[in-house]
Structure 1
Amino acid sequence: MKRKDGICISFISTERTMATRQNRKEELLKSEESFRRNARVIIAEMINLSNQTREDTSALVDEILHSIFFLGEIHCPPISPESILRDDDDDEDDEDENLLKALKDCYPRPFKLYSCQLPRRSPFSCVLDMVVYLIGQENEEEIRDGLQQFITDVEDGAPSKHLISTTICISQKSSNSVRHYGVSMSTSGRNAGKIMVAASCLSAWNDYVANAVMTYYPKKSKKSYFDGTIKIPRVRCQAFNLRMGGEMKPCRSCGNMFGLNTDVAKEWDYGNCAEVESLSNLLKNEIEVKEQSQPTSDTWTPENISRTAEDVLRELRAVLRMIKFKWDGHFYTPQSSTV
C-alpha cells in the first residue's frame, strides 16, 4: 500500500511538474508574440510620424530601433530584429522583406549594434519626443491624448506591458513656462528595468536626478555612504495615467528622491517613474531650478559620486553577465539617416 501510494504521489507530482512547464511555455510564447506585435506597430507608427515632420527626426527612429532590438535581444527567449519585422504567418511576404531591407539600408547601425551596445533610454521616451515635437510642448492636453491614442492603436484591444509606458509627467518652472515631459520606463521584466535605469543614470539623465536615483539603486535601500537626494523647489510636477487618464500622485520613491509631497505608501523601483525623466529634462533646461535643487548632504562629494557611479556600473555589468549579454562598454548614440 505504501509503495502504491508512493507511486501515486510520484505520478501526481510529475503531472503537476509537466503542467507547470507547459503553462510556462505557453506564457513565454504569449509574451514573445505580444512583444513582436507591439514592436512592429510601434516601429511602423514612428516611421509614419517621422514622415509627417518638416525637420529631420530620423535620429529618433534610429534610436527606437536600437532600443527595441536590444530589449528583444534580452527577452526570454531572445527575439531578433528579423523576427520582429517579419510575419510568422507568411515567411515569404514581400512587404515584410521590403520593409526589413529598407530599414537595414536607412538605419544600419541599430541592426549592427543592438547586441553589443546599451540604449540610453527605453523606447517610449522616443515616442514621447516625436509626439511632443509634432504637437508642440505647449499643447499638453493634445500630447496626452495623442499618446493615449498611440497606446490604444498599439495594443488593439489586447493590453500589454511590452514597450508601453503607463504614465506621463509634466514639469514646469511656472505656469507660463516651457513644459518638460517624461514617461515611465517602457520595459517588462526585472532585468530589463535594472539595466535601463542604470544605463539612463550613467548616460542620459541630469546628474542631480541620476544621483538621487543611484542613492537607492538597485535594492530600494538608501546607501550608507552616499545621499544624493534632492528637494525640488516649488515647481509643477504632475503625473497622469496614460491608459485611464486622470492625475496621479507621486509614489513614495519619488517623495524620497525629490522631496515631492505625497501620502502614497507604494514604493516603486527607483528610476522607473515618469517623474524621473520629466524632472531630468526640467533640470537640464532650467538652470535656476537646478541651482535651487542642489543636494545638501555632507556625503554628496565628488569622491562619493564617483564611487556610487562605479557601484551602479558594477551592478549593471553583473546583470549583463547573468543574462549573457556581451557589452562592449558603449552606450548607443543615435544618428540621423543618411538616406
Structure 2
Amino acid sequence: MKTSKKAEIDAKIKENLVTSGTIFIDKFADILKANNGSPEVNSHYMQRVLHSIFFIGYVSKPRVYPEDFIPESVRESFKKKFPGPFRDYKSHVPHQTPYSILLEFMSENKNFNGPNILMQELWEINKSLWKTDTNIGYQPVANDFTATVIAYSCYSDIKDNNNVKSAYGSSISCRGKVPRMIMIHISVLQVWDLAISYAVCQEGNSPALVFPNKVCCHAFSFNCNRNCFLEVPPCAKCNKSFRDVKFNPSCENPDDDPTWPYGNCAENESLNKLLKGCQDLRSRILTEKNTEGNQMDITEIETMFKKEKEEKLKKTLKNLLGSQNIPLRETNGKLQSFQPM
C-alpha cells in the first residue's frame, strides 16, 4: 500500500514537472517570436532555456528526460535545431533557472519605465504559464518553473552623472530540495559576484556587506489570493546580509520576518547584477566593522571567500551532482557550464 501511494505521488510530481516544462518552452518560444529579434539572439536564449529545463528535469526526483518535455510531433525538429541542450544536459551545468533566463531576456531586450510595467508583463506571462486544476474549480496552479518573487535594484552612479543603474532578479525557481540546492551552489560558485556569494554564505551572520548610499531594492511577490504581484519586504537573512540598502517596503522589525534557505531570494540575483553592471558601486562595497574596528574591502572579500568558502561549496556541489549521476567537471578552475552554439 505504501509503495503504491509513493508511486502515485511520484507520478503526479513527474506529470506536473513535464507539463510545467512543456508549457514554459512553448510560451518562451512565443515571447521570442513576438520580440522580432535576430535568429541568433532567439536561438541563444532558447538553447539556454531548454538546457536549464532538461538539466533540472534530470536532477529531479523522479527523473525527467529531455524527450518528455518535447511533444513527439516536434521532437526531431527540436533536436536538429537545438542539438546542444539535448547533448549536454547531464554533463554541463546551467548558469540560471529558466525563469531567470526569461527575466534576463525581458529586461535586456525591452525598455521598461520602472518595475511596475515589467510586473504587469510578467503577470500576463505567468497566467500563460500556469496550469488549470479542475479539481479546485478551474483555479490556476503555479508552474514548477515560475519564480515567486521578483526584485528590482537601482543605484545612482556618482561617476556617471548620477545616472540610475538598475537590475532585476528572480528567486530560485525550480521544484525540489536537491535541484534548488544545486542551482544555488552553482550561482554562488560561478554566477554571482563574489561579494554577494560571500554574504549569502554568511547566512545572515556577521560580517554583512555594507552598501553605499543610494542603493535601493524593491521586491514583488505573487499573491495567489489577490491574483497579483504585491510589494514585500526582504526576509530576515537579506536584511542582515545587506546593510544600508534602502529596501522598499522596509521592515519595522527584521527579526520577525521569515527566513528562507540561504541564496534562494530574488534580492541576491538583483543586487548581483547591479554590482556587475556598475564598477563604481562595486569598488565601494565594504563589510561591517569587526570588534577591532576593521573592515574588508572588495578585494579582501573575494580573497576571504576563496579561502574560507569555495572548496567547501565545491565539495557539497560535487556530492549533490554525484547523487544524481552527474560528474563535477572543471576547466581552468571553472565549472563546465553550458554554452549555446
Is TM more than 0.5 here?
A: yes
Q: 2: CA distance between counterparts of 1:68 and 1:57? A: 17
Show the counterpart of 1:5: none
2:217 to 217, 225, 237: 237
Show the counterpart of 2:178: 191
Output the aligned Cα RMSD: 2.3
User: Quick check: 1:250 aligned with 2:234?
Assistant: yes
Q: Is the 8 A contact 1:144 1:242 kept in 2?
A: no
Q: 2: CA distance between counterparts of 1:249 and 1:105? A: 45
Q: 2: CA distance between counterparts of 1:73 and 1:228? A: 37
Report how far residue 40 of structure 1 moved: 0.8
Q: How does 1:118-137 map to 2 (within 5 A)?
A: 118-137=93-112
Show the counterpart of 1:116: 91
Report how far residue 117 of structure 1 moved: 1.4
Q: 2: CA distance between counterparts of 1:163 and 1:54? A: 24
Show the counterpart of 1:317: 318
SS at match of 2:10: helix
Which letter does structure 1 place at the counterpart of 2:267? E
Q: Is the 8 A contact 1:60 1:334 kept in 2?
A: no
Go from structure 1 to structure 2 and tell me whether the alpha carbon gap of 1:201 and 1:265 turns closer, same or farther (over 3 Å shift): same
Show the counterpart of 1:8: none
Go from structure 1 to structure 2 and tell me whether the alpha carbon gap of 1:301 and 1:282 turns closer, same or farther (over 3 Å shift): closer
1:179 to 126, 150, 166: 166
Show the counterpart of 1:13: none
Report how far residue 161 of structure 1 moved: 5.5
1:7-53, CA deviations, whole angstroms, 9 ceiling, x for partnerless residues?
xxxxxxxxxxx2x4333222211111111111111111212222223
Show the counterpart of 1:270: 262
Q: Is the 8 A contact 1:229 1:256 kept in 2?
A: yes
Show the counterpart of 2:285: 293
Q: How does 1:1-339 map to 2 (within 5 A)?
A: 18=1, 20-51=2-33, 52-55=35-38, 56-86=41-71, 96-97=72-73, 99-157=74-132, 158-160=140-142, 162-174=144-156, 177-216=164-203, 222=205, 229-234=208-213, 235-243=215-223, 244-259=228-243, 260=245, 262=251, 263=254, 264-296=256-288, 297=295, 300=301, 302=303, 305-329=306-330, 330-335=335-340
Report how far residue 287 of structure 1 moved: 1.8
1:134-188, CA deviations, whole angstroms, 9 ceiling, x for partnerless residues?
4324352221111112111111334235111011000011497232100000111
Q: 1: CA distance between counterparts of 2:242 and 2:70? A: 40
Report how far residue 228 of structure 1 moved: 6.2
- Point out where structure 2 has 5 or more consecutive residues left out of the alignment: 133-139, 157-161, 289-294
Q: 2: CA distance between counterparts of 1:331 and 1:315? A: 16
Q: 2: CA distance between counterparts of 1:39 and 1:100? A: 14
Q: Is the 8 A contact 2:170 2:266 kept in 1?
A: yes
Q: 1: CA distance between counterparts of 2:184 and 2:323? A: 17
Q: Is the 8 A contact 2:194 2:301 kept in 1?
A: no
Q: Is the 8 A contact 2:131 2:142 kept in 1?
A: no
Q: TM-score, normalised on structure 1?
A: 0.81
Report how far residue 58 of structure 1 moved: 2.1
Larger radius of gyration: 1
Go from structure 1 to structure 2 and tell me whether the alpha carbon gap of 1:59 and 1:145 turns closer, same or farther (over 3 Å shift): same
- Point out where structure 1 has 5 or more consecutive residues left out of the alignment: 1-17, 87-95
Q: Is the 8 A contact 1:49 1:130 kept in 2?
A: no
SS at match of 1:246: strand
Q: Is the 8 A contact 2:219 2:231 kept in 1?
A: yes
Q: 2: CA distance between counterparts of 1:247 and 1:136? A: 21
Which letter does structure 1 place at the counterpart of 2:4? Q
Which is richer in strand?
Answer: 2
Go from structure 1 to structure 2 and tell me whether the alpha carbon gap of 1:232 and 1:196 turns closer, same or farther (over 3 Å shift): same
SS at match of 2:164: coil
